[in-house]
Amino acid sequence: MNFQTDYTLEKYILEASWERFPSDVQERLRGCLIDLLGALISGTKSDQFAVGLRMVKKAFGEGNVAAIGTNDRFSAIGAATAMGHASNAYDIDDGHNIIRAHPGTSFIGALLSVAYEKDATLGELFSAMLVAYEASIRMGVAIMDHYKYAHSSGTFGAIGVAVGVGKLLGFNKEQLNHALSISEFNAPLVPGIRSVEYPSMNKDGVPFGVMIGMLSTIETECGFTGNKNLLESDEYRHLLADLGEKYEVLSLYFKPYPCCRWAHPAIDACISVMKENSITADNIDHVTIKTFRRATLLSKIEPKSADEAQYNIAYPVATALVRGDFSIDHVMPKAFSDSEVLDMMKRLSFEVDMDLDRKFPQKRICRAEIQTKDARVFVSRNFEPSGEAHENIGTEWLTEKFHRITACAMDRQAREQILSMVLGDTSLPIRTLVNTINSLF
């Protein structure tokens, strides 16, 4: 590979400023923060977050930085890692179709922790978020092509963390280049397909991406030097050509359901065909889901943990058929013994439709065929997941979702207070935001 260091990305990072962003990008960043805070707040109720707290206390010790969801204080890397365990715990965070991963969840905890430590403002956090999104998504495209392998969120998140944190720390272009190179070179190569076929807390590898990204900035501060990164190579330099013109943050999708995106169109298809034809769950004989191949690889086991419930296609679809929805409540342990849902899982089958498979990953499409006990067959139209980029999701949609997914943690008045802060003055200190959130649990 031939490399050329011309600091194109680094200059963009240094110049990026909230005040200069187009209005639609500003609105999107506020929406992203609402969505990511919702994922973080709900994720503090997960077993994964409890494990993360124990881990960071053992690995990183105490400090002066707050983490959302606990009264304990940590070092910046400790707080970042703790929140990295919460942000992706319920798989309800933003995503990007081309890299097949969740960029925001992989860096938000790190950016909040360093913004807290450095007493940064909301506007400075938004600036760091923007460059983290733009760099991690473009690097994700390069990594996926270079390795010819489906990596996952933590891989690309390491780069987002290094970029966003480097911006908050005031790195110069040489330091940013080192942090970029170190994080890309050492990023965890998370095996994305294995994570969906065999779900566990490993999931998308987010906490490990956070740690690698944070360590990359710490190493840079200590004088460690990197040497080139994929976006400086001849093969991938073109991915930076539209910086400042095309904003990948506007290409994100947002998730209404706390499970793998690949199951979402099946959920919507089933709910729709049942409502349109007044079908009740007790009259369903069999349901066939016609979809793309990757969706059929999702686990179909009866879940015993939140992770097994999320990286699953049979359980969310069966829950939607029986309960008319798939929500945070359905990835809690008490839901896993629902006998009606477990019975419905036995009445499902999943088939690859080659026409739909050819549209993946740009589009994730499926349809549902429901056969009733009186031998009638109802077929849905083709469904894409709701919340796709072309829907131009705005703050109203994301605010409604925020209320829905954080009701497990705090009352409506508390939720309204948080939303008011995110949508308000960008001179707000992040310390005030984080401390306020923690006082509302």
Indicate if the pLDDT at residue 345 is higher than 80: yes
Burial class (CB in 10 A: 0-12, 13-18, 19+), 306: buried
Q: pLDDT value at position 386?
A: 94
The CATH code for residues 8-255+392-439 is 1.10.4100.10
Alpha-carbon separation of residue 105 from 83, 98, 396 (angstroms): 9, 16, 20
Q: What is the pLDDT of residues 49-77, one digit of tens each?
A: 999 999 999 999 999 999 999 999 999 99
Give me the phi and psi of 51, to 5 degrees please: -65, -45
Q: pLDDT value at position 323?
A: 97
Q: pLDDT value at position 150?
A: 81
Indicate if the pLDDT at residue 202 is higher than 90: no
Indicate if the pLDDT at residue 20 is higher than 80: yes
Reported confidence tier of residue 198, pLDDT bands at 50, 70, 90: confident
In percent, the amount of the chain with pLDDT more than 90 equals 92
Average pLDDT for residues 75-99, to the nearest whole number?
95
Q: pLDDT value at position 362?
A: 85
Average pLDDT for residues 326-349, to the nearest whole number?
96
Name the segment(s) of the chain with CATH classification 3.30.1330.120.
261-379
The span from the CA of 227 to the CA of 3, in Å, is: 10
H or E element, residue 165: helix 153-169
Indicate if the pLDDT at residue 163 is higher than 80: yes
First to last CA, the chain: 51
Q: What is the pLDDT of residues 224-249, one digit of tens each?
A: 999 899 999 999 999 999 999 999 99
Indicate if the pLDDT at residue 193 is higher than 80: no
User: Which of these CATH numbers, 3.30.1330.120, 3.60.150.10, 3.40.50.300, 3.40.50.2300, describes 261-379?
Assistant: 3.30.1330.120
HEC letters along 317-329: HHHHHHHCCCCHH
Q: What is the pLDDT of residues 349-392, one digit of tens each?
A: 999 999 999 999 888 999 999 999 999 999 999 999 999 999 99
Reported confidence tier of residue 196, pLDDT bands at 50, 70, 90: confident
Residue whose C-alpha is closest to residue 125's, from 39, 30, 193: 30
H or E element, residue 372: strand 367-372
Q: pLDDT value at position 132?
A: 98
Average pLDDT for residues 203-223, to the nearest whole number?
96
> Using only C-alpha atoms, what is the Rg of the chain?
21
- Count of alpha carbons within 13 angstroms of residue 74, beta-carbon side: 30
- Name the token pair of 425: 């003055």
Q: What is the pLDDT of residues 99-148, one digit of tens each?
A: 888 999 999 999 999 999 999 999 999 999 999 999 999 999 999 999 98
**Whether residue 303 has a cis bond before it, omega within 30° of 0:** no
Reported confidence tier of residue 149, pLDDT bands at 50, 70, 90: confident
Q: What is the pLDDT of residues 246-303, one digit of tens each?
A: 999 999 999 999 999 999 999 999 999 999 999 999 999 999 999 999 999 999 999 9
Q: pLDDT value at position 189?
A: 87
Q: pLDDT value at position 301?
A: 94
As a whole number, the mean pLDDT across the chain is: 95
Give me the phi and psi of 363, to 5 degrees please: -130, 145
Q: pLDDT value at position 214?
A: 98
Reported confidence tier of residue 222, pLDDT bands at 50, 70, 90: very high
Indicate if the pLDDT at residue 197 is higher than 90: no
Name the segment(s) of the chain with CATH classification 1.10.4100.10.
8-255+392-439
Q: Which residues contact 440 (CB under 8 A, 6 or more apart)?
A: 410, 414, 417, 418
In percent, the amount of the chain with pLDDT more than 70 equals 100
Reported confidence tier of residue 409, pLDDT bands at 50, 70, 90: very high
CB 179 within 8 A of CB 215: no
Q: pLDDT value at position 151?
A: 85
